[in-house]
Amino acid sequence: ERIEVYRVSLAYAEPFRIALGTSVKSENIIVKVQTDFGVEGWGEASPSFKITNETPETVVDALTKMGPELIGMCPFKVEQIIEKMDEIVNGNTSAKAAIDMAIFDVIGKKTRKPVSALLGGYRDEVLTDITIGIKSPEEMAKSAVKYIKKGFKILKVKVGVNPSEDVERIRRVREAVGSEIKIRIDANQGWTPKEAVEVINKIEKYDVELIEQPVKAEDLKGLATVRKNSSIPIMADESVHSPEDALKVIRAEAADVINIKLMKSGGIWKAMKIAAIAEAAKIPCMVGCMGESNLGITAAVHFAAAVKNVQYADLDADLLLKDKLVKRGGAKIRDSKRIPPKKKGLGITAFNEKLLGKPVKVFK
């Protein structure tokens, strides 16, 4: 019946640096879908120009094209809504994810079920890592100790700027946290295949669980070469946005694990398809995030809790943000685990109205 679009700017607790660049705030778009049966649903887009080729402006633009066309559609006809969005605009996956999330929020509220129960209800909690951005090796070791003291059991260490320094980062973090804590690393496409293999040979002894996107997203041949020469499992992230990409990566034998993000896939519906394709190939999935607030993260927690093949999670963006958009409800964190809300829909009951502000667009 009505779609409202909001723009929010959420500050990080500290500058967050990865191989692709540094962020001090997350510029997100919030969508509210109002139905004629009195239920409203909420969703979030966290665009990344370097990963999904989107900016806050392009998200608002895409929603302006899609919004009027979606008015009058039945929220229960998810496949039709997805098809309609794909007909109207190409790509723009985070914009589509915001609508998709809001639709699932509506369906959950109307059926009085949490979204995770609607999607498969496999587990009640999701073990997540916490991410350490790129800093000097000693600063990263300090951050690692701080997070372990807070109860985190898995660290995701960002690398991919300078191979020899990256080895030092991993060594310092491992020495700082001891042998019980799991460490995964993410190069965000920062290495050449040759550099990746050299780094892997040097870090094997530090007991690394996974290596994420060591090489350029489009270089599946390079990714496959790294995988063949690695004793540590290789995870594809930026190489897989869509179900079609997942199939390509599987055919190229380029990954041991696939990282699904709602912002890359276009939402929960297509994320389910990627997880199914990967499961058929006996490849487990991780669910990751961009710069979402607790709204987008909660949607991803429901997805991860629902689907058996989503065996790893990196759902920490909201924990790295100083500004908290969700005031009541949403996924909580306890002992390194994310707990999906038991309430109906996504389970978010109140927002920080000051951060949310007034809608920038309304369609009805």
Q: Three-class SS of residue 170?
A: helix
One domain, residues 274 and 357: no
Using an 8 Å Cβ cutoff, are 257 and 90 in contact? no
One domain, residues 326 and 198: yes
One domain, residues 135 and 267: yes
CATH number, residue 270: 3.20.20.120
- Inter-helix orientation angle 243-251/268-280, to 10°: 20
One domain, residues 284 and 300: yes
Best CA proximity match to 294, nearest among 263, 264, 326, 323: 326
Neighbours of 110 (CB within 10 A): 17
> What is the C-alpha separation between 331 and 340, in angstroms, rounded?
5
The secondary structure of residue 321, as a DSSP letter, is B
One domain, residues 108 and 158: no
CATH number, residue 356: 3.30.390.10
pLDDT tens string 77-132: 999 999 999 999 999 999 999 999 999 999 999 999 999 999 999 999 999 999 99
With a cut of 50, list the residues of the chain below it in pLDDT: none
Q: Three-class SS of residue 199?
A: helix
One domain, residues 66 and 97: yes
CA-CA-CA-CA torsion for 154, 266, 235, 180, nearest 10 degrees? 10
Query: How many domains would you assign to the chain?
Result: 2
- Residue 3's pLDDT is 98
Show Cβ contacts of residue 57 under 8 Å, excluding neighbours closer than 6 positions.
Answer: none
- Residue 114's pLDDT is 98
One domain, residues 121 and 240: yes
Neighbours of 307 (CB within 10 A): 25
One domain, residues 106 and 125: no
Residue 16, domain extent: 2-113+350-363
One domain, residues 15 and 89: yes
Active site members:
158, 186, 212, 237, 261
Show Cβ contacts of residue 150 under 8 Å, excluding neighbours closer than 6 positions.
Answer: 130
| pTM more than 0.95 | yes
One domain, residues 133 and 275: yes
One domain, residues 289 and 148: yes
- Residue 197's pLDDT is 98
One domain, residues 182 and 78: no
